[in-house]
Amino acid sequence: MRTTLKPLSEQVMVLTGATSGIGLNTARTAAAAGAKLVLAARNETALAELAAELRGQGAQVETVVADVGDEAQVQRIAAVAVEKFGGFDTWVNNAGVGMFGTNEQVSREDMRRLFDTNFWGVVHGCLAAVPQLKARGGALVTVGSITSDRGLPMQGIYGASKHAVKGFVDSLRMELEAEQAPVSVTLIKPTSIATPFIRHAKNYMEVEPNYPPPVYAPEVVTEAILHAAQHSVRDLYVGGSARLMAAGAHHTPRLLDKAMEWLGIDQQKSSIPVSGDRDGSLHHPGPDLTERAGTDKVREHSYYMRAVTHPRTVMALAAATGVLAAAALRTRRRSAAWSGRRG
């Protein structure tokens, strides 16, 4: 069955992890575009402040304080969307947490807690969303990571959770397509993004973590999420470097292993000694309502993303460039011929 998705201005969108980084930017951008929002996060105070901000701009917003690792709380998110808006058109699984440290360093308790959020949070979200989306049609969007395709040293359990997310989302997509359900299922795979991810991550290293370059603005991920909410697409890599890494993981995995061993570990370590609490937001909500953090060297746009999400525009530009190049070549030839005749 063909899945027809509504324009954002006509949608009700559910968004988890809404009070920080990518989720915060997506909430603000979707609200500005006219979407009705059901926002979920653990930080009750931040949720209330964000809702007041968006309502002050004319948006219709409901909030649910929820830990996505708890299935009953996620079901409550869906129930609020139905109660307040009659349902939803897009569900975005965005909540997640990071961790830095070797696999030998990380405690089993922390590993399980990270999986509760990153993997089980997605499972809970998908299974809460699917009955509604099957009934009315819509988009199920999950924010994964390039580590869904390629594991990284120092982020082993994080990458493992994102591998698990990919396996679950791919399986769910096939099942829904097999029964011709009107649901678009998309997995977003960002590379390094300049959000408070590091601030919220549990850190076992002796220094503060660093963002491996290149680093993209959270707006680039928002662009991917909102594109998937309105256009049926299977996967979206955020940043050309993410696509290149995925290709390397498939075609030259051992070469990529060696590159990661040589550069990847050091690139994730800053020169700043660890200070203060480094438990991050793993076990409790952290400071929220910040979209960007961590680095001044940020790529505001991804040409790869633009090419994927706006192929007609790119083709038109390429065609126009070709026409201009051909015209310039003809002009040069005519000029050369005229000069030859004059000589």
Q: What is the pLDDT of residues 25-48, one digit of tens each?
A: 999 999 999 999 999 999 999 999
Q: What pLDDT shows up at residue 306?
A: 85
Confidence category of residue 320, pLDDT binned at 50, 70, 90? very low
What's the whole-model pTM score? Answer: 0.89
- Given a cut of 70, whether residue 325 has pLDDT beyond it is no
**Widest distance between CA atoms in the chain:** 87
Give the mean model confidence (pLDDT) for residues 211-223: 95
Q: What pLDDT shows up at residue 318?
A: 43
Whether 160 and 25 map to the same domain: the answer is yes
For residue 25, the domain's CATH number is 3.40.50.720
Residue 1 lies in a domain: no
> 167: which 2 tokens?
């396996």
Cβ atoms of 225 and 188 closer than 8 Å: yes
CA 270 to chain centre: 24
C-alpha R_g of the chain: 22
Q: What pLDDT shows up at residue 296?
A: 75
Give the mean model confidence (pLDDT) for residues 258-280: 89
Q: What pLDDT shows up at residue 335?
A: 59
Whether 252 and 317 map to the same domain: the answer is no
Whether 51 and 169 map to the same domain: the answer is yes
Q: Which of 158, 211, 216, 237 is catalytic?
A: 158
Residue 2 lies in a domain: no
φ, ψ of residue 266 in degrees (nearest 5):
-65, -35
Using the CB atoms, write b or e for 96-117: b if 16+ within 10 Å: bbbbbbeeeebeeebbebbbbb
Q: E strands along 239-316, which residues?
A: 269-273
Give the mean model confidence (pLDDT) for residues 254-274: 93
The letter for the amino acid at 12 is V
CA distance 11 to 38: 11
CA 80 to chain centre: 24
DSSP lists the bridge partners of residue 15 as 39, 92
- Given a cut of 50, whether residue 2 has pLDDT beyond it is yes
Confidence category of residue 144, pLDDT binned at 50, 70, 90? very high
CA distance 95 to 142: 9
Nearest of 105, 96, 84 to residue 153 by alpha carbon: 105
Residue 116 lies in domain: 8-309
Whether 179 and 315 map to the same domain: the answer is no
- Given a cut of 80, whether residue 312 has pLDDT beyond it is no
Tell me the HSE value of 34 on the side-chain side, using a 13 A CA sphere: 6
Give the mean model confidence (pLDDT) for residues 171-185: 97
Annotated active-site residue 211? The verdict is no
Whether 315 and 244 map to the same domain: the answer is no
Percentage of the chain modeled with pLDDT above 90: 81
